[in-house]
Chains A and B, each alone.
Chain A
């Protein structure tokens, strides 16, 4: 997927980092369910002025794909019912031991780690700039040739820290008109579009979307080896039914996102280009997510095979700094890191999204997903072995 994106990116060196400052419309605050949210975020010093204009512009384009759903977009403004309310926050400023309760949810570094979080109860989306700065720095390093690939870029940010790598994510760098910043800008803008569309999908489908789930009784998976304990985490049918329901709920939010993204070619004069950028960025989001999970697998596994592959991928020095030195004290296995229990695997999400794009008015891309299908076959075989063996006991 990486190579394909790079090729497509180079073809698109024409348009620039499309950060067009859209003047924020001054809106009078209306008393409502979330009126104090902005004040609370400001008091906690969480609001971060990192590309709020780009967030607004992308959100406006997505809102246009759902006529009648939202009256408009408000970014870092007092909450207003009926509008898409977005707050751009820096999760690195959150206190680890003191989650901030806002509206119907709580903000924690973990909840915001993916880049954004939705509160269906108040119609609010929180965008985490810490995650975006990390992605921006890693993407820019790759485009500038400072590292060999996106995994090495992420490892470099993790090893040296966001402040030390500031020149790769700061506006003063990204706003410059170079081919590297143009490509990085497209990738980030498209990834942001997917993330916002996913969270807007959550707002559209609400919390009540029920899903059937089959939970194997615990006696069927009662006594596992250490390896099987890890493998089990890739098999939702062996976990609590609520995990399966959440995975299906997240899948539904992805499909709702595709419905917003897949109409962009018909909106505005630059719709075709915007659609291409959003499709590209969606793929980039998952490319980064998969690279990130590879690093996490290295930190949570003592497998020499994984270690050697990571050394080859990011280099021996970065491996030591970002993986070996950051390894968990108790390495219980890499599967846990690769397969989050609350979401379908990244490759499965990317594949489902790509298929869904084909059915939208704007169509999809021509990504080669055969590698992803192999991953899913491998997971299914692993789970069949696990549950089959247990059921036979």
Chain B
């Protein structure tokens, strides 16, 4: 599955609005680096990592004190899970996407979840969050379709 995901990166430009070649290469590198970094994590740690990475986006700004961004992080992960289940599940069963579509679909789901919370993402955010989410999906198999929230991931 990991190889398939990396191979699928070749088809990634479809998910973006015509990125310049250098930007595209950078996106690929960021995705691959994060995909490798989180390879050894347990599924529940992947959820932790996903939340930390999304909060990094939600908490940007020059404010005098730190505040919880849990509301937006939770909103993001809820929308992401719904999007992934809509794409990857049918009748409670897991669909296997065509290898060339896997990462592109993930990027679309991540982008939609970010937009639902009005999160201001840059390319590196989308690449890294997509890589973590892809690992998470790969760790779940059939269980993905029965999840009510990412709290249920074990």
Which of these, A110, A199, A207, A328, contacts B69 with CB under 8 Å? Answer: A110
Pick from A116-124, A162-170, A354-362 the stretch touching chain B.
A116-124
Determine the distance from Cα of A342 to Cα of B52 in the docked complex, in whole angstroms.
Answer: 11
Q: Which of B41, B56, B64 has the most CB of A within 10 A?
A: B64
Distance in angstroms between the alpha carbons of A356 and B151 in the assembled complex: 43
Question: How far is it, in angstroms, between the C-alpha of A289 and the C-alpha of B61 when the chains are bound?
Answer: 19
Q: Are A218 and B38 in contact (CB under 8 A)?
A: yes
Q: Is the CB of A113 within 8 A of B59?
A: no
Supposing A222-B42, A223-B42 touch, asked if A111 and B63 sit within 8 A by C-beta, the answer is yes
- What range describes how many residues of A lie at the interface? 35 or more
A116 adjacent to B64 (CB under 8 Å) = yes
Task: Say yes or no for A330: interface residue by CB 8 A criterion.
Answer: yes
Q: Which residues of B contact A199 (CB under 8 A)?
A: 62, 64
Taking the complex as formed, is B118 at the interface, i.e. its CB lies under 8 A from any CB of chain A? yes
B58 is an interface residue with CB less than 8 A from chain A: yes
Interface size class of B (residues with CB under 8 A): 20 to 34
Q: Shortest beta-carbon distance, A27 to chain B, in Å?
A: 25
Q: A341 with B66: in contact, given A98-B118, A110-B72 (CB under 8 Å)?
A: yes
**A83: interface (CB < 8 Å):** no
Q: A328 to nearest B CB, angstroms?
A: 8
Residues of A within 8 A of B45 (CB): 222-224, 229
Shortest CB-to-CB span from A326 to chain B, Å, is 13
Q: B55 an interface residue at 8 Å Cβ cutoff?
A: yes
Distance (whole angstroms) from the CB of B90 to the closest CB of chain A:
30
Query: Which residues of A lie under 8 Å from residue B17 when comparing CB positions?
Result: none
Residue in B41, B56, B118, B120 whose CB lies within 8 Å of A242? B56
For window 80-121 of chain B, which residues contact chain A by CB distance below 8 Å?
Answer: 118, 120
B48 on the A face (CB < 8 A)? yes
| Identity of the chain A residue whose Cβ is nearest the Cβ of B47 in the assembled complex | A229
Which chain B residue has the least Cβ–Cβ distance from A242? B56
Known: A106-B118, A111-B67. A341 touches B59 (CB 8 A): yes
Contact yes or no, B65 A111, CB < 8 A: no
Is B141 in contact with chain A by the CB < 8 A criterion? no
Residue of A nearest to B118 (CB): A99
Contact of A198 with B59 in the complex, beta carbons under 8 Å: no
Q: Which B residues are within 8 Å of any A CB, using their own CB?
A: 37-42, 45, 48-49, 52-53, 55-56, 58-59, 61-72, 118, 120, 151
A96-B71, A342-B66 given; name 20 further pairs at CB < 8 Å. Answer: A110-B67, A111-B67, A114-B64, A117-B63, A118-B63, A119-B62, A120-B62, A198-B64, A199-B64, A218-B37, A218-B40, A219-B39, A222-B42, A222-B45, A239-B52, A240-B52, A242-B56, A249-B62, A337-B68, A341-B59
6 nearest interchain CB pairs? Answer: A340-B66, A114-B65, A113-B67, A202-B62, A343-B66, A118-B62
